[in-house]
Structure 1
Amino acid sequence: MAARSYDETSTAATTAVVDIRIKRNWAEKWVDLVDSSKWLAIFFCEAETIKPAIPNKEESRGLKGFWKEFVWFISSVIRGMAQLTWNDNIWTGLGILSGACVGNWCVGICAFIGCCYTTGFPLLFGPPELKPLVGSGIYGLNGTLLGMAMGCFDARASQARTFDEVMLSCCRLFLPLSFMAVFCAVVTQWLNTKWTAKTGIPACSWPYNISMWTWIACATLTTNFQTIYTANPPSAPQYGQITVEWFFRSWMTGISQMMFSLNMWSGFCLLVGAFIGSPSTCFLTIWGSLIGVVTGVLLGMPFNSIIGLGVIGFNPIIYATGMGGQFVAPSLVGFIWMTFGCVMCGILAQLATNLAVLPWGGGSYSVPFTLMTTFMFGLFQEDLVARVPLMPARL
């Protein structure tokens, strides 16, 4: 009888222990809600954790399957725009798209079109294994940059203000943008196969640079298209005085230049989207622009033309967001090397300006960033720089 009473007491105590529920805070409840909903997961989670909307062909038949695939594709396109800051969060992509449209509607529309082409190309012509990478938006990065650049550097599109002018400019650029976006997608796939797969070094934005140089060289020799370089030849460097207002404006304009915009509100849109996707990316964006402005001031670069227009901040920002936590694991040593790379991006940008932009027109685009990234990856992989942990999953 005593043994039975002991067993009942022990069972009741065990049951009481099992029934104890840990109180969950609001953040944990929100995570559970997102995990339980496929539609919320599409918008908030990283694409790597999301299964394709249609797992097999049988379920993809019919109108319902089409709309699911369409939503997945649009999500991949917007994530491709978010890859401008090396994130795959859809809200970051929407912030970048909004910032581009705030600066110039042509730039935003062309960026979306270019990203659609470079995202859809590997889905149509690549192996099925590429679908998770396409879903993360990594193939949309170069298409986004190409669309923004073509919309910005076209003389008519850059000056379009009314609805009619914007639509006319976008229609006029649609055909060349389509051809160049497909060419960019082909170059991307070729570099991934011949370069990244063998060396482990990402191609970054080399496809964008190659495609943009090709387009500028062709457009310069035609009469139907006029770039800002031929319409407005490069002028002499303009210097000025350093003030607090000028410094802050140059700092923010450098962030706006990520979307090829001179409007500071474009930069604020990017920062909001980057903060939602990753607060560390938001900080690195601000840090990269700051390093670019400080480097330009210390080197005595033209205040009103190079620094004031934010051009000096473009490459340091891309490098900071990429090497500050996406390609390299966050660490103090990695942060120091990332800052060094940002300074070198500013120096290389000035070098390209003196050797290429001013003498014959054209632009360096993101070449300083790609050169520094390739160089630093070579140092890291050859163990010439110790204690810098790489993140191979990001390659």
Structure 2
Amino acid sequence: MMKTIFEKFPFIDNILKGMGQIMLQENRWTGLLFLIGIFMGSWQGGIAILLATSVGTFTAMKLDYDKSEINAGLYGFSAALVGVALSFFFQTTILIWGLIVLGAALASSIQHFFISKKIPVFTFPFIFIIWISVYLLHHFTQIPPSEMISAKPENVPYGEFLTPINGFGEVIFQGGVFSGIIFFIAVFISSPVAALYGLAGSLLGAYISYMDGESLEGIHIGLFGFNAVLSAIVFSGLRKTDGLWVLIAVLITVGIDDFLIDNNVLTEVGGVLTFPFVAGTCLTLLIQKICIPKKQN
């Protein structure tokens, strides 16, 4: 029945895949579970991600971008993150809803520019738009922060054991334990290898940050693990060498993450977001390109 619905309404399928692509999964069920997990944390966030992903996908369709790329959800994930981020940072006024629509359309267009140039930038369109939006909104408006951003982390026993799972939740601005579990399951049903490498990356990121003296509260809620989750997923695979590249990517990503946070480099524009993931992954891809001859790639 569901297959028939997706065939009859491909736009729905594209939207869900766009959400799944937040963690690099071209899977409608992954996207659906992400949506459920976000609604569990905040109805505003749920509506925001639905609206933003729809706008990003619709923009790509109207601008006649490659149909296979649209079907894969490649024009939805950065737009989706724009929607969730704005609804997370600010109370959802009319201006914020308008910016979600505008930002989602712009994210789709920027994504297309880099895709057409065959330059891997992952979530950079989202980062760029949010940095500018947060800076302008903080300096030129009086819109108060959302309830989510000022909420205290959940008081859950055995938090240390849940730290790696919380890293999955924080990828999409969710601090709740159950959202993290749902997100992990969402990736696992699409790619067990990616999910397990992501878990390992989150754990390693948390451990390195602990050794670096970062905030224990921040580590436990996943703030020092979510970028590592994404970097690990990118390089995950069944070959023995994949584990090495995951390790290299996570080490670089966490190093960038801790450095930026320790020096408050991006506080004024909303924080590091997924920039350490983008920078760490691109540097690892560059190292990979230098170390591995084309014939073996």
Q: Give the TM-score, by structure 2 length.
A: 0.88
In the TM superposition, residue 171 of structure 1 has moved relative to its aligned partner by 5.0
Task: Tell me the equivalent position of 2:220.
Answer: 308
In the TM superposition, residue 210 of structure 1 has moved relative to its aligned partner by 0.7
In the TM superposition, residue 259 of structure 1 has moved relative to its aligned partner by 2.1
Contact 2:165 2:184 in 1 (8 A): no
Deviations 1:327-383 (A, max 9, x none): xxx3111211212211221221111112335864631111111111211222222x3
5+ residue gaps, structure 2, are 151-156
CA distance in 2, matches of 1:114, 1:227: 20
Task: Tell me the equivalent position of 1:144.
Answer: 80
Report the 3-state secondary structure (helix = DSSP H, G, I; strand = E; otherwise coil) of the residue aligned with 1:133.
helix
CA distance 1:204–1:299, shift in 2 (3 Å): same
Pick aligned residue for 1:221 from 139, 152, 156: 139
Contact 1:80 1:139 in 2 (8 A): yes
In the TM superposition, residue 273 of structure 1 has moved relative to its aligned partner by 1.9
Task: Tell me the equivalent position of 1:16.
Answer: none
CA distance 1:301–1:375, shift in 2 (3 Å): same
Deviations 1:37-74 (A, max 9, x none): 9x53886xxxxxxxxx5xxxxxxxxxxxxxx3xx1001
Report the 3-state secondary structure (helix = DSSP H, G, I; strand = E; otherwise coil) of the residue aligned with 1:356.
coil
CA distance in 1, matches of 2:164, 2:191: 20
- Does residue 259 of the first structure (1) align with residue 180 of the second (2)? no
Task: Tell me the equivalent position of 1:384.
Answer: 291
- Give the letter for the 2:131 counterpart: W
**Aligned 1:62-101 pairs, distance under 5 A:** 68=8, 71-101=9-39
- Give the letter for the 2:166 counterpart: T
CA distance in 2, matches of 1:172, 1:359: 22
Contact 1:92 1:273 in 2 (8 A): yes
Task: Tell me the equivalent position of 2:128.
Answer: 210
CA distance in 2, matches of 1:151, 1:389: 44
Task: Tell me the equivalent position of 2:153.
Answer: none
Pick aligned residue for 2:112 from 189, 192, 201: 189
In the TM superposition, residue 112 of structure 1 has moved relative to its aligned partner by 1.5
- Give the letter for the 2:3 counterpart: L
CA distance 1:42–1:338, shift in 2 (3 Å): farther
- Does residue 173 of the first structure (1) align with residue 106 of the second (2)? no
In the TM superposition, residue 297 of structure 1 has moved relative to its aligned partner by 1.5
Report the 3-state secondary structure (helix = DSSP H, G, I; strand = E; otherwise coil) of the residue aligned with 1:221.
helix
- Does residue 341 of the first structure (1) align with residue 249 of the second (2)? yes
In the TM superposition, residue 211 of structure 1 has moved relative to its aligned partner by 0.7
Task: Tell me the equivalent position of 1:297.
Answer: 210
Deviations 1:224-275 (A, max 9, x none): 42447xx97xxxxxxxxxxx92311322222211221111000111122222
In the TM superposition, residue 99 of structure 1 has moved relative to its aligned partner by 0.9
CA distance in 1, matches of 2:295, 2:89: 38
- Give the letter for the 2:209 counterpart: G
Contact 1:219 1:226 in 2 (8 A): no
CA distance in 2, matches of 1:281, 1:120: 29
CA distance in 2, matches of 1:246, 1:302: 14
CA distance in 1, matches of 2:240, 2:88: 37
CA distance 1:337–1:303, shift in 2 (3 Å): same
Pick aligned residue for 2:185 from 272, 288, 296: 272
Task: Tell me the equivalent position of 1:161.
Answer: none
- Does residue 123 of the first structure (1) align with residue 61 of the second (2)? yes
Measured on the aligned residues, the alpha-carbon RMSD in Å equals: 2.5
Report the 3-state secondary structure (helix = DSSP H, G, I; strand = E; otherwise coil) of the residue aligned with 2:183.
helix
Contact 1:153 1:227 in 2 (8 A): yes
Deviations 1:64-103 (A, max 9, x none): xxxx3xx100110001101122111111111111111112
CA distance in 2, matches of 1:222, 1:351: 29
